[in-house]
């Protein structure tokens, strides 16, 4: 299975609050955000990890090149990265898609924080679902922390019925920003880009319109690092995981 990381954003809100590092290199719980995801994905049987970063600073691409050449934590990492400025996360996904057309993959942004044990369960559910012919499994959460959450409509079997900007009667969850997909959906991604779409949520709506079969998988608390206080929140959350694991 492949993994893809969008690390091409500018992190402007963090910069406005005094954070000088580029977002992928911000540390939470002793690890750079990009390092943490690469480690977790490697531990979950990554066939390949593809990353897109921007050229606003060389620090991120140099860090990724170092991992490609020297590994991480004593392990060789099946990592490749591209450097390109994009106008949105959906366009970043589009740039990565040429590496994702021959295997199921899990895509997320560099600042997504989640419970590692729950992620292991998610990868298992995703692989089982794709083996049964499903087109995707989206990680969802009932923890609403996003400034503009994307509500996910589901039926009683957690089949996804729609994606909404406002809470609808069938919405128990919001998107966690972790997308498990098959290569078939890249056709819809290409069509969305050609139509001038730029938001991941509109791509997800297009998947429903194109009759792809998607499941939701609840994953507990998931949140992004958008502000300085989110870094503190992530440190606390991940420290609590460590304590719970030791207990």
Domain count for the chain, please give it.
2
Measured CA to CA, the distance from residue 212 to residue 226 in angstroms comes to 31
150 burial type by CB count under 10 A (0-12 exposed, 13-18 middle, 19+ buried): buried
Confidence of residue 241 (pLDDT cuts 50, 70, 90): confident
- Helices (H) and strands (E) in the chain — how many of each? 8, 13
* % pLDDT > 90, the chain: 92
Distances (CA, A) of 203 to 41, 154, 200, 234: 24, 17, 5, 28
Question: What is the pLDDT, as a whole number, of residue 145?
Answer: 85
Instruction: Calculate mean pLDDT across residues 112-140.
Output: 98
119 shares a domain with 145: yes
**CATH code, 44:** 3.90.550.10
Tell me the two tokens of residue 36.
């943490």
Instruction: State pLDDT tens for residues 151-182.
Output: 999 999 999 999 999 999 989 999 999 999 99
Task: Tell me, yes or no, whether 91 and 155 share the same domain.
Answer: no
Residue 246 banded pLDDT, cuts 50, 70, 90: low
Statement to judge: residues 128 and 31 lie in one domain? no
Residues 128, 219, single domain; the answer is yes
Tell me the mean pLDDT in the region 45-61: 97
Q: Note whether residue 237 is domain-resident.
A: no
Q: Are residues 47 and 105 in the same domain?
A: yes
Query: What's the mean pLDDT in 80-97?
Result: 97
- pLDDT of residue 43 exceeding 90: yes
> Both tokens of residue 233?
């929140």
Q: pLDDT at position 10, please?
A: 81
Based on the fold, state whether residues 118 and 208 are members of the same structural domain.
Answer: yes
| pLDDT tens sequence across 119-131 | 999 999 999 999 9
pLDDT computed for residue 245 by the predictor: 58
Mean pLDDT of the chain: 96
> Do both 140 and 173 map to the same domain?
yes
| Residue 236, domain member (yes or no) | no
Domain-embedded: residue 96: yes
* Residues 3-35: tens digit of each pLDDT: 999 999 888 899 999 999 999 999 999 999 999
Same domain (yes/no): 142, 209:
yes
3 and 105 fall within a common domain: yes
Confidence of residue 247 (pLDDT cuts 50, 70, 90): very low
Task: Please indicate, yes or no, whether residues 6 and 107 belong to a single structural domain of this protein.
Answer: yes
At 222-240, the pLDDT tens digits run 999 999 999 999 999 999 9
Report if residue 244 sits inside a domain.
Answer: no
pLDDT at 224 (0 to 100): 96
* Residue 19 shares a structural domain with residue 78: yes
Which range marks the domain in which residue 80 is found?
Answer: 1-111
pLDDT at 244: 57
Q: Does the pLDDT of residue 146 top 90, yes or no?
A: no
Q: What per-residue string of b and e applies to 93-128 under the rule 16 or more CB within 10 Å gives b?
A: bbbbbebbeeebbbbbbbbbbbbeebbeebbebbbe
Task: Check whether 147 has a pLDDT greater than 90.
Answer: no
């Amino acid at each position: 299975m492949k993994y893809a990381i969008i690390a091409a954003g500018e992190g402007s809100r963090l910069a406005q609050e005094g954070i000088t590092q580029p977002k992928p290199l911000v540390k939470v719980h002793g690890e750079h955000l990009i390092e943490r995801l690469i480690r977790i994905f490697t531990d979950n049987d990554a066939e390949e990890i593809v990353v897109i970063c921007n050229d606003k600073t060389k620090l991120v691409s140099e860090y990724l090149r170092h991992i490609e050449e020297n590994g991480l934590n004593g392990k060789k990492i099946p990592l490749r990265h591209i450097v390109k400025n994009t106008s949105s996360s959906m366009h970043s996904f589009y740039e990565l898609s040429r590496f994702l057309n021959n295997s199921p993959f899990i895509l997320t942004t560099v600042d997504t924080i989640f419970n590692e044990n729950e992620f292991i369960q998610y990868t298992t559910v995703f692989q089982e679902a794709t083996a049964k012919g499903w087109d995707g499994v989206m990680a969802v959460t009932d923890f609403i922390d996003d400034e503009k959450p994307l509500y996910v409509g589901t039926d009683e079997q957690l089949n996804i019925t729609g994606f909404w900007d406002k809470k609808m009667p069938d919405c128990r969850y919001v998107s966690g920003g972790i997308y498990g997909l098959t290569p078939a959906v890249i056709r819809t991604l290409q069509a969305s880009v050609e139509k001038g779409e730029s938001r991941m949520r509109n791509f997800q709506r297009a998947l429903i319109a194109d009759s792809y079969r998607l499941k939701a998988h609840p994953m507990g608390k998931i949140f992004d690092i958008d502000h300085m206080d989110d870094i503190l929140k992530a440190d606390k959350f991940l420290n609590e995981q460590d304590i719970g694991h030791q207990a």
